[in-house]
Structure formats: C-alpha cells, structure tokens
Amino acid sequence: MSELSTEQRLLLVKHVNALMQPDFDALMFALDVPNHVIPSGQAAQGNRASALLQWVKSPNGCGLIEFLKTLDAIAPVPFDVSLDDPTPPETPNEDFRERLPYGVPFPRVRLPDNYVERPEALTAVKEKLLKETDQTLVVSAISGLGGLGKSVLATALVMDEEVQARFEDGILWVTLGQKPDLQTMLGEWIRELDKSREAFSANTLETASRYLNNLLLAKRMLLVVDDVWNAAHADWFRVGGAGCRVLVTTREAQLEGAEYYPLDLMSESQAIDLVRRKLEQQWSEDQTAEVKVFANSVGYLPLALDLATNQVRDGFSWAELQAEFESEREAVALEVLDASEAWEQLSEGEQRNYSLRACF
C-alpha cells in the first residue's frame, strides 16, 4: 500500500492530531525524526502533526508504509488497511544501503514509488559533482520552480553508485526551508561525524560552522543542502576541503560562486510515465490524450501532476480536473490582472506562470 484514499488521509490527519503527547513523542522517537523537523511541544498539536506528516512523505522521510506500521503499534490506525506492500518498488530504495561501508554517514532518503528518471538532468549535475578540481570547495546548485523535482533529483544523485564511490567518507543531508533552526541542524551534522563531548561545545553558528569545517577538511563527502530560500542560510553549510562538494537545491536564492543547473520542466513522455506509474492498475492507454492536455495546462510540473493523479485515483475524471483547473487558473489571473486585460492576451510564458500558481 503506497497511497491512501482521500477519506483515509482525512482520518489519518485527525488521528495524528488527536494523539496524546506521550504517544506523539513515542512515535517521533521510534521513527527517529530529526529534531528540527517538528515544532517544540509548546506549539499547537495540529502544527506538529502537519510537520510530521510532511516529513513522512518527503524524500528524506520514513515513507508512508513505515509510518503506518509504527503508528499502528503505538496507537492503532482508525481504518482497515493492509500495512504490507506486496509490490516491490521499481527503484532501488532498499538494497543500495547494502553497498555502504559500516559507519559511513548517509541520509535516510528514498525515491517516490512513481519515480521517473530524468537522465539528462542526472548526468549533467553528476558531472559537476564528480569533476576533480583544485578549487577549495565546489558548490553546485539545482535551481527552478517549486514542485519541479529538485529534491527528487538530489535524492537520485545521492543513491547513485558513482556518486557514493566518489564520496567514500559519506553523505550528509539537511533540508532548510523558510525558517530553519540553523544551530540545531549544524549540530546534527557535527554529531554525525564526532561523538565526543567537544562536539557539544560549538554553541554559536560561527563556532559550529568552523568546527564542522575542521571535521571535513581531510574527508571526501557530499553535503546536500536542500530547499534553500535564503542564500545566507546555506553559507553556514559551505564547509569542507577539496575532497568535499556541496549540492544545493533552491528556487531562486543566489549563491555566490555556485555552479547552477536550472532544472527544466518534464517532457510530455516523462509526464505521462509519472501518471502511469502512479495510477498502476487504474491506468489505461485511452487516458493518454487527456493526460497530455492536462500536463500541458499545468506546465508539466511534476508536483501538480502528482496531486492531480491522487484525485483521479479517488474517482475524479481528467475532464473534471481540467475544467476545475481552468476555472482556478483564470481566478488566479484575475486577482493580479487589470479587469480590462483578457486572459487570451497574455503571452504563453505569462499564462504558464499563472497556471503554476493555480496548481496550489
């Protein structure tokens, strides 16, 4: 079971929101959720539950199956659902860990079950990461609109055998977001590399970043800094010597000296493949024409296609989604356009921008 119905998702959200504090804390401990992911116990339970569920489905989260199994052991889930997944994923989410030397730091990341390879992007960024250079520290950045698949591409790179062989001392991953707890995040990286008491003495951003830099000077490690909104936040993680590389994913933050790779939209065939993998047995070839039209409407944005496919799994037709999207897209445009400016008069690029906003 890789997905839930809309009704099951609503029940799950209510169930997690209603967990008693001891059960919620036990769940976080059992899943080994990073400290910075969940707001403190003083925050509203709804905010903490929302943060947990977002982490579960993220590339470096535990995944829905493991979450449901763990939750069911602590506070049984309120619906009848098989927690076994009889169909192994087509992507190497499990066996790749067997290649890793014992004790080498490695993030708990996973590819989506409906992962679609984007070989041109993977090869281009991998070449940047593997290139030997005399520079003290090389920073590569995957940039582009939200929902393009930047974090998924970074995950695919982390799971690549050549990348793992190049960075023989391990890989570290941090997801920043808009309001990161930088001190905690730096501390987590430090303690991945140094278990001594001295690791706890770096109690400012300056000392923590410097301490981390010293730990990495002689190592060959890949440092992934995901979802950067503010370039100044990423600067604290630009550490290490000539054997290290920093890989950043960002929508639009400008990092001085970084080599950028602008991630493009999916191709039409990749978009169809994503939908086909997601729908599995519900897919039929006669949906192809409607999917092509809808994919073009949402600008071939992977996240928008993924969300739409969830609705198709729940019983919506592509025609219904297309009509609803067109209505929402024009409503978004009317919020910012002069009433006298017609939608049809906008350029293709302007229409695409409003289409992407309408997805969310």
pLDDT of residue 66: 80
pLDDT of 83 strictly over 60? no
- Which DSSP state fits 287? G
The confidence score (pLDDT) of residue 221 equals: 94
Of 57-66, 238-247, 249-258, the range with the lowest mean pLDDT is 57-66
Residue partners of 119: CB distance under 8 A and separation at least 6: none
User: 260-303: per-residue pLDDT in tens?
Assistant: 988 888 889 999 999 998 888 889 999 999 999 999 888 888 88
Question: DSSP string of 13-77?
Answer: HHHHHT--HHHHHHHHHHHT--GGGS--TTS-HHHHHHHHHHHHHSTTS--HHHHHHHHHHHS--
% pLDDT > 70, the chain: 80
Angle at 249 between CA 329 and CA 124, to 5 degrees: 100
Q: Which of 4-13, 22-31, 98-107, 344-353 has the lowest mean pLDDT?
A: 344-353
pLDDT at 123 over 90: yes
What does the pLDDT average to over 38-42?
75
Q: What is the pLDDT of residue 84?
A: 47
Instruction: Choose the most confident range, by mean pLDDT, from 110-114, 115-119, 156-160.
Output: 156-160
Average pLDDT over residues 192-218: 87
Confidence of residue 8 (pLDDT cuts 50, 70, 90): confident
